[in-house]
Structures are given as structure tokens and as C-alpha cells.
Amino acid sequence: MKIEKAIKEKSMILQKEMLAKQFKELSLARESGKKVVYTFVPGNLTELILSFDMLPVYPEINALQSGMRKKSAAYIKDAEKIGHSEDVCTYVKCDIGMMLNGNIGPTGEKLPAPDLLLLSYTGCFTFLKWFENLERLYPGVEVAMLHTPYQEDGKITADQIDYMVKQLREEVIPKMEKVSGKKFDYSRLSQMMINSEKSEDLLVKILESAKHKPSPIDAYFAGVYYIGPMFTAFRGTEEAVNYYNELYLEIQERIKLGLGPVTPEGEIKEEKFRLVVEGPPNWTNFREFWKIFYDAGAVIVASSYTKVGGVFDLGFRHNFREPLESLAKYCMGCYTNMNLPQRVDLLSKYVKEYQADGFLINSIKSCNSFSAGQLLIMREIEQKCGVPVGFIESDLVDPRYFSYANIKNRLESYFQMLEQRKIILGQETEA
């Protein structure tokens, strides 16, 4: 398949520049004296890390970027050679393989070793084992653990918040003070929360712009660019606020002009189908995957993956008046920390509010946090919303588990079903 040069929105270019700057700072961390914190995207404590002038590194971001750059296959193979099972999360194996090969980051610059491993896991118990491996790879490194209660009963209680704030005060912050050599600045963290709230307000407006017809954005494939600054190293910064202001204005202009989403193949001229998608995308064949939807005129108007680092459209915002409590609520409120009834309710809400024509699951072979319960979710959405449901399978960054022909055939059959349903509904309306 011949791949033409990708067309990119201005927001994508800005996001790329921001991440490039971040990786440059990381490559110079030892010279600048900056301390480095390895942590994860769901439930990340970015504002707290930045308040100590430390630099965050996100192993799963490194893995997905390696997948997009076609480097993950070799990394995974090297991790399997030293004993990691084929069934282990491919993010983990890709990250470990990258470290075994010199820890060269996605931009080609060497990443520094961590000064602190910060595990604030949310809904993914694989993170525990992942960090055990990182601790062995970096003997003597400081480790801070923030245990996040799972939303088993579908609500966040005062006792749970107190439990997490106690951990922040007694375990996490003291370790950060020790590693950084700086005292915790409560007022600085509080001030950063103001920027977080501004960015979160804008991100919600951006993602909810997909309620328009035609949708000016794709909330899954393009959505991963939009959430990048929020879910990585920039939440709480003025840089993030400026980025989201720029992006919001750009999208408002697209709405005004009645334009559809921009994809690497060009602008979608006709919105034929509106979909809600559950599960992460495949990164090794990201563009080819997106093109299947582009060719069919299928636009994803809402997705669960863009909520993996925070479900802000349900009303949560970081609060400068109670910054530590905000961090606790944030960690517990991420999508993968929600129980199955909560997920069904959220996805049903998306199908109805975004007037979706169908619901699709991309089941990831090695990601239990998403794939557990997806068949139940699919049946529940079909019953609650009455829309056609579809199911495809791939993986995060292991190209062995992405079958382009198989996925294309399944999606084309699904799109034909959606088309047939539209015809039938149109005939019933005329009658």
C-alpha cells in the first residue's frame, strides 16, 4: 500500500513540538540537574511532579511512540528473549526492550534513568509488575507507591479520599522532597491547579464539539493528539492552556464552516456514519487503521480511550482550594478505575448524546484493563441504545496481532450493516 505524506492540523503540529521539547529537556536532565520521575498516564500526578521542578517520563507513551515509529517489534522480541511471556502487556515488553537497547526515546535522544519511580496506578494492576521490573533494571532507585482504591461500588467516598491524601502526605511527598532536595510548596501546587482547570474546561468543549453535525473532529484517532498535552507532562502549565485555547479556536472555525475532521489522508468530505468506540487504538498501524474509517466516511464522535487519563466531561476539575484532595479524586475517577456498570452508563450516554449510528469495540489482546468485560459492555449497549454493535481485535504495539485484511473485512461488513439500517430507517420515516 502506498502511503502519501500525511496532512496534519495545526494542533497536531503544536502537540508534536511540545512533546519534542519535553524529550529534549529529558535528554539534558543530567546537565541541567533536573530530577526525573517515571510514572504512568492514568492517575498521573503531573502537577505535583512539576511543582518540585522534576521531569516526568511516561513508559506507556514511550511504548506507543515506538509502535508508531515501527520500532516496537524488535523491542518486544528482545524482552521475550529474557523471559517475558507472549501474554504480557506489550507496552511493558516494548518499554523493557527499549531500555535493553540503550533507552533511546522516541525522538532519538537517550532518556535519563529515573531518580524516582512513582506508581499511582489507576485500574491497571499490570503497573505493579511493570514497576517491579523497572526497579530491578534501576537498582537503588527511590520508589513511591500511591494505592488507588477501585470504584467497586461506583462512587468515591470521603474515607477513600482521606486514605489517599494520607498517602500523599506521608509517602509520596516526602519521597519527592528527598529526591528533589526541595520542600513541598503547597501554594505553587494550588496555583497550578488553576491552569489545570482551565485546560480541562477547554478539553471538554473540544471533545464535545463532536456533537455537531458534521463533527469537526475525530474523537478517537485525532483525539489521541488532543489529549496528549493533558495526559502527559503539561497539565497545570500555561503552555497547556495556550495550546487548548488555540485548538478550541481552530475547531470553532471548522464548525462555523461546516467542515468535517482532518485526517492524514485529507478532510472527510461526507460524514456517513457516527460511531462511539471502546478500547485503545492500535499504534503499529495507526494510519492504516484510521484510513479504513476515512474511506468509509466513518467518524468517531466519542471514545473511552480519550478518558483514560481523566473523565472530565462528568464534571471533575482539579480544585486549587483543595489540591491534594483533587489529586485523590482525579486518580480514582479515571476510566479504567470505573466499574463495568459505570462504563456502560458512560458509553450509553455517549451513544445517545452524540447521536451515534453504532458502537464499536477494539479489543486489545494484551490489555486486561480495557478488554475485561467488553463482551458484556457490547451486549448492554446494544440493548440500552438499540444501535448496531461491532467487535474487532488488535493489539497496542505488537504488529503480530494486527491483521489489516481481517480488520478491514470486519469493518467493511459492519459499515454495510450500518448502511442497510440507515436505508430501512429512512424508508420507515418516509412511510
- pLDDT tens, residue by residue, 39-65: 999 999 999 999 999 999 999 999 999
Contact 26, 106 (CB under 8 A): no
**pLDDT at 196 (0 to 100):** 98
Q: What is the pLDDT of residues 223-264, one digit of tens each?
A: 999 999 999 899 999 999 999 999 999 999 999 999 999 999
Tell me the domains of the chain and their CATH numbers.
22-184 (3.40.50.11890), 190-430 (3.40.50.11900)
Give kind and range of the element (H or E) at residue 143: strand 142-145
Above 50 in pLDDT, residue 219?
Answer: yes
On average, the pLDDT of the chain sits at: 92
Asked if 278 and 374 touch (Cβ cutoff 8 Å), the reply is: yes
Q: Where are the alpha helices (DSSP H) in 209-285?
A: 223-231, 238-257
Total-model pTM: 0.93
- 281 contact partners, CB below 8 Å, separation of at least 6: 220, 221, 224, 289, 305, 362
Which H or E run contains 22?
helix 10-27
CB-based contacts of 33: which residues, under 8 Å, 6+ apart? none
pLDDT at 3 over 70: no
| CB contact set of 86 (below 8 Å; sequence gap of 6+) | 80
Grouping H, G, I as helix, E, B as strand and the rest as coil, residue 278 is strand
Please tell me the distance from the alpha carbon of residue 65 to that of residue 374, in angstroms, as a whole number: 26
- Give the three cell numbers for residue 335: 476510566
Type of residue numbered 356? A
Q: Residue 13: pLDDT band by 50, 70, 90 thresholds?
A: confident
Please state, in angstroms and as integers, the Cα–Cα distance from residue 298 to each residue in 100, 261, 294, 332, following that order.
40, 10, 6, 33
**DSSP H helical segments within 270-372, as ranges?**
286-296, 323-332, 340-353, 368-371
Residue 168 vs residue 131, higher pLDDT: 168
Whether residue 123 has pLDDT greater than 90: no
Using alpha carbons, select from 70, 173, 51 the residue that is nearest to residue 116.
173
**344 pLDDT exceeds 90?**
yes
Whether the pLDDT of residue 365 is over 90: the answer is: no
Q: What tens digit of pLDDT does each residue of 139-195 get?
A: 999 999 999 998 888 999 999 999 999 999 999 999 999 999 999 999 999 999 999
Whether the Cβ atoms of residue 129 and residue 102 lie closer than 8 Å to each other: no
DSSP for residue 111: P
